[in-house]
Chain A
């Protein structure tokens, strides 16, 4: 080695290795010395003392996926818009092409964004943007207490408060 000194990246590497050694060493030594006597109770997932119900793999609401897709639409748009943004207003190019460059690039990008926006419009029209509200069905429970009683109470406390 011509250079005896450790470079800055070398130091980072040493830290990385050191960190790994500490973590893995701890895990490995505990594996070596800890007693291993599992039973059904111990293997249960910990639910603050409650009996766990069902599979441990809970599922996300499917609607998150639709939102993620819409996010993806515009995230990916950036991939194209960003390089475009660095060149479209370039004065030299516009000068050299007698203004054609500016018109050309702006129309191109409008066409591109229009098609992407159509995708958003599609999702909107088809109702994927609406987060469904809880469907409240009025209960057909017949209360023996007449409605008038509640109204009286409401009226009474309303008047006293305000």
Chain B
């Protein structure tokens, strides 16, 4: 008893970012009790300040775990602190920071402003717990925390469309998490423990019959795939991204998705059972990746709405991230980390500019961007660079990310003779060509079409655009000098 309690109090020291998030959530709620509408600015500043504090704490944690050889179990192994989880946490906090900055100075939420920020903190807390989770209970609870707050955030446009998107998201999400829970209950029945890296857990799964194990693992996988909006659990994404406020859509494309990838990486290592799994997960994942990439790219071809286009593009990007899981090696996992970091930069930059265009000039369709380069040259060029990065062409970090994933796939084909890696590689390359058509639709309109009526020139030096340009510079830098990011990622160790 004594040891357990000291273990819990001792774990608190390694749990500072999460505690900071909870405290900021509570403080925002208390601040929200005092007349909401007028204090809008205060909440924004508070939220940014709290996120900055959290970021400092997470970076501090990064230095702390630098010399960690084994994962550090916290709270009687409910969660685990590893260098990988701290890396994901940094990405999530950065995503949250940019999201809050994106809505800075924006008065859309009226008297619901404090709720907006505290729900955003709720999503962040869920993501943090999810990437650290080491127990089926923690996984379930953090996924639910992520989802339930996300359902409410979706409806923050306060119009019919956003309610419709929220109800679709809710019903799909509730069904997916229910199925995942049932799968987990079977895994518990097969093993008698909930800790996923426990010897008893792995032993129980190895001894289990093939059929129940496969069913349970696939059911659990369904819930996780839902969070990263990979096919076939992607149906909610386009509607939600279109109808939710733009910062919220940007948030959903980064934080829940990358946290989901984080836990998926761990989960694949568990259910692979040191290669003795009765199911060949490579085939399952390769199929999922192909369908995601295919659906994302082909559906995006017909889209006219920019946010919807970005939604399909994010489905395709999930496909590429899952492709990294197919290769299943240390280099592949590092490639996923690199790709995720670049994905954060480029997707956030895209949403920042789209948000700016939507707020200032009311642009929602691709045609609206006609001749933007003549009116706002800087913004036009930046948007073109971001689109090139999303396609995965040089000279941007998007190319480096895709290149690393593809080379990991090739390595896995050469080394372990995994045919599916090769198929996926070819399919992915072909799809990059298809992606050209829709990603370059926007640059085409921006550069080669002339605007019928030009929006009046406006000062574009806002905080949002400043961050956007900074991200664009980072995207370019990550192509020419990826060493510093690589160095960070190389210091992460996986337990292969």
Contact = CB atoms under 8 A, between A and B. Distances in A.
Chains A and B touch (C-beta atoms under 8 A apart): yes
B2 interface: yes
B33 interface: yes
Interface stretch (B24-32, B473-481, B487-495): B24-32
B211 interface: no
Interface stretch (A44-52, A96-104, A150-158): A96-104
B1 A97 contact: yes
Given A115-B26, A118-B26, A104 B5 contact: yes
A93 interface: yes
Contact of B5 (A97, A115, A118, A121): A97
Interface in A97-117: 97-98, 100-101, 104, 115
Given A115-B26, A118-B26, A100 B33 contact: no
B29 A118 contact: yes
Contacts of A93: 1
B151 to A, nearest CB: 15
A121 B1 contact: no
Interface in B32-60: 32-33
Contacts of A121: 33
A104 B1 CA distance: 12
Interface in B1-22: 1-2, 5, 8-9
A17 interface: no
A96 B1 contact: yes
B32 A100 contact: no
B195 to A, nearest CB: 21
Contacts, number: 23
A42 B9 CA distance: 72
Given A115-B26, A118-B26, A101 B33 contact: no
B32 A122 contact: yes
A77 to B, nearest CB: 17
A125 interface: yes
Contacts of A122: 29, 32-33
A100 B29 contact: no
Interface string B134-168: 00000000000000000000000000000000000
Contacts of B30: 118
A158 B9 CA distance: 74
A96 B33 contact: no
B372 to A, nearest CB: 42
Interface in A108-153: 115, 118, 121-122, 125
Interface string A26-59: 0000000000000000000000000000000000
A125 B29 CA distance: 11
Contact of B33 (A97, A98, A115, A125): A125
A100 B1 CA distance: 10
A93 B1 CA distance: 7
Nearest to B115: A122
A37 to B, nearest CB: 43
Given A122-B32, A125-B33, A100 B5 contact: yes
A63 B8 CA distance: 42
Contacts of A125: 33
Nearest to B3: A97
Interface string A2-22: 000000000000000000000
Nearest to A96: B1
Contacts of B1: 93, 96-97, 101
A124 B195 CA distance: 41
B2 A96 contact: yes
Residue among B1, B8, B9 with max Cβ neighbours from chain A (10 Å): B1
Contacts of B9: 104
Nearest to B8: A104
Nearest to B25: A115
A121 B26 CA distance: 12
A121 B5 CA distance: 32
Given A93-B1, A104-B5, A122-B29, 17 more contacts: A96-B2, A97-B1, A97-B2, A97-B5, A98-B2, A100-B5, A101-B1, A101-B5, A104-B8, A104-B9, A115-B26, A118-B29, A118-B30, A121-B33, A122-B32, A122-B33, A125-B33
23 contacts: A93-B1, A96-B1, A96-B2, A97-B1, A97-B2, A97-B5, A98-B2, A100-B2, A100-B5, A101-B1, A101-B5, A104-B5, A104-B8, A104-B9, A115-B26, A118-B26, A118-B29, A118-B30, A121-B33, A122-B29, A122-B32, A122-B33, A125-B33
Interface of A: 93, 96-98, 100-101, 104, 115, 118, 121-122, 125
